[in-house]
Amino acid sequence: MNNYLLFFLIFLNLYSQKEHPFENLNFINITSDTDNEIFEQEFLKLKNDELSEIEMIEKEILVASKLRDLKKVILLLNRQIKIEGESPDLLYQLGGTNGILAFKKKNLFSITYLNEMLECFSKALDLDPTHVPTLEAYIDVLYSLPKILGGDKKKASRLAEKLTQISKINGYLSMATIYFKNENNKMSKFYLNAFFQELSRLSICKSEELKKFYSKQSNNFPIKISQITSFFGKEVDSGLCALNFYLDSPNFKKNLYSLEWIYFLKSKLTFLNGNREDSFRFLKLSLDLNPDFELSQTFLKNNF
């Protein structure tokens, strides 16, 4: 068991909170124990509406997400699944929430969340082998985890190739991630170029294309787009459109990412787009939220 835990803790500490093109879980904030009194106050507001049981659960999930109480989100998703039955979307959400807790907790109990995540992703793909958000998440987990914890690099690569046939932009991104983590710069660059070409071809900045483009994506896919475009300085307009879509989306109520990081991404993309004034404004918003946020401190020092 000690070796089991050691491997897990090594996995959890692979990345520090530095700028990275394919890693964002470090920028998710959660609470260990939400103030139940605050949750009850928010919940009482919902009772004024005439809602079905499922509608109430969905509203409660929004509240729990806003308060960053992921344990409560897991309980609510399990209740929803018990009523509605298993579906790829719900299993993906449940698996992803368990995965965030596994990553952030960094202790022995995290293994339970890890196993739940793997089981949920596997069940989701049994129900729908073409479910894009689950494929993306499962590929990343399978490739990142040590074999003793359920990792399987060969399976991850096979699924990434399959994903490319279903959705080029998602598949190219997964392939680029795999080769980047494997330190194969030649192949990583090849798939990144393919990704940027596909992103350009999709022309997501056209307003009528935005909703269509993101309809089958995970809620955090716009963040991935903005993160990668800002890191590599390519397709910056698409990155800005993606981030604006994320900020304006109703799903922003469920935002778990630290706002200082979101504003840092907005500042960098705006800067790369040639707008120093707005870039500085967003950078100031980031540092107002967290004066010790290293990425914004460094960007400020190097560019202003």
Q: Answer whether 8's CB lies under 8 Å from 111's CB.
A: yes
Exposure letters 173-194 (e unless 16+ CB within 10 A, then b)? bbbbbbbbbeeeeeebeebbeb
Residue 49: CB atoms within 10 A of its CB come to 9
Residue 2: predicted pLDDT: 37
Structure pTM? Answer: 0.86
Residue 210: predicted pLDDT: 74
Q: Answer whether 94's CB lies under 8 Å from 74's CB.
A: yes
Domain definitions of the chain by residue range: 1-15+29-146, 163-202, 209-304
CA distance 162 to 279: 39
CA distance 103 to 95: 12
CA distance 302 to 18: 16
Residue 68: predicted pLDDT: 82
Mark the ranges of the chain whose per-residue pLDDT is less than 70: 1-18, 30-49, 105-109, 207, 251-254
DSSP 154-221: HHHHHHHHHHHHH-HHHHHHHHHHHHHHTT-HHHHHHHHHHHHHHHHHHTTTSHHHHHHHHTTS-TTH
Q: At what angle do helices 153-166 and 132-144 cross, to 10 degrees?
A: 160
The mean pLDDT of the chain is 85
Structure tokens at 286: 């980031």
The single-letter code of the amino acid at 84 is: E
Domain 1-15+29-146 classification at class level: mainly alpha
Residue 31: predicted pLDDT: 59
Residue 204: predicted pLDDT: 85
Architecture of domain 209-304: Alpha Horseshoe (1.25)
Structure tokens at 143: 């490739």
Helix (H, G, I), strand (E, B) or coil at 187: helix
List, for residues 196-238, the tens digit of each pLDDT value. 999 999 888 886 777 778 877 888 899 999 999 999 999 999 9
Q: Which helix (H) or strand (E) holds 252?
A: none
Residue 257's DSSP bridge partners are: 28
CA distance 18 to 27: 10
What Rg do the C-alpha atoms of the chain give, in angstroms? 19
